[in-house]
Structure 1
Amino acid sequence: MKTQLNQSIRIVISLAVTLLIWGHIAWDYVHGGIPTHYILHNKDLPGIPNWWGGLVLPLITYFLLFRIQQRIKKPASKETLQKIGLRFLSGLIFAVTISICYMQDIQIVDFIMGLVFLMAFIFPIYKSEYFLGWVLGASFTFGAIIPIGFGSLLCLVFFIIYHLVGFIKSLLKSKGN
């Protein structure tokens, strides 16, 4: 029998994320105020305060864990929690690397993003566990809303890239027969 990501585990993980994000928001509040991130770094455009992450991040965490569980419990699924954990960890490491480069003004973010786009041709990096790792890893630096929005767009692009490659492979196979 496969290991499941049952509801109690999803709730515990979501509660841990809730405590972490609200702890971070409280820290920010006590140490100079809750940061606001402006669209395109332009203060004339609307700002998104980090406290929105305290509301949205626990919900998106639970939702993504639910989606992962739905995929695991399919009878034909070959997914394991170990694979999913490694995917989550790679998304988290990617986000933390981007965050550190951004905070330290290291100019390799474009190269890292290019590498990720190349990886999208080979790996299904649009999956929920990659996205969850990205959102949790980038939330400390960018708040939660910006990584969720940007990550959603990236996942859509990665989904199209990955399935387009699969479609082209199947076309080439059918032409070869």
Structure 2
Amino acid sequence: MPKVSNWWGLLSIPILTWLLLSIIQKRKTKTNEKKTISKLEIYGFIGGSLFGIAMTILFLFNESNLSFYLLLLTSILALFIPIYKPEYYLGFILSMIYGFGGILPAVIGLFLIAIYAFEYCVIRKAFLKYHNQTC
């Protein structure tokens, strides 16, 4: 594992948490929703946390095949569920801090979120558009 100072994690995690919570709050004010946390946001946070915990456990027990299949499963889920949202990312990062520190989960999570957003917003939309034209 790369030797990145834990001080960077100590600095980056609170800033990243604040940034992601600000994005969630701005999304709520843009859609004129209540300021309370919705069930979908809680489910997204829990889902991201469970994914991060599973990936951490699989990595710590050196189960690279299972972690690959778990990543494949989330790539398939990304076509049907918008798992690119900030609440998923926040749960993922916070759940992986114990095993990987603060920086590595943020970088890996950002890469995964970009892939999931592309899958959901581009590939899914193109497939649905093509499917509606042929039916």
User: Do the two structures share a fold, i.e. TM-score over 0.5?
Assistant: yes
Per the alignment, residue 53 of structure 2 pairs with: 96
Please, which runs of 5 or more residues in structure 2 have no aligned partner? none
Tell me the matched-pair count. Answer: 132
Aligned to 1:165: 124
- Residue in 1 that maps onto 2:31: 75
Identity %: 27
* Corresponding position of 2:42: 85
CA drift at 1:75 = 2.9
Question: SS of the residue aligned with 2:4?
Answer: strand
Aligned to 1:106: 63
Q: Partner letter of residue 72 of structure 2?
A: G
Greater gyration radius? 1
Deviations 1:67-97 (CA, angstroms, capped at 9, x unpaired): 0111122236699521101100110011011
Q: Give the aligned partner of residue 53 of structure 1.
A: 9
Flag structure 1 segments of 5+ consecutive residues without an equivalent: 1-36, 39-46
1:143 aligned residue (87, 101, 110): 101
Separation (CA, whole Å) in 1 of partners of 2:54 and 2:107: 19
Considering Cα pairs closer than 8 Å and 6+ residues apart, tell me whether 1 or 2 has the greater RCO. 2
Equivalent position SS for 1:121: coil
TM, length-normalised to structure 2: 0.88
Query: What RMSD, in angstroms, separates the aligned Cα atoms of the two structures?
Result: 2.0
The answer to whether residue 83 in structure 2 is matched with residue 125 in structure 1 is: yes
The structural deviation recorded for 1:172 is: 3.0
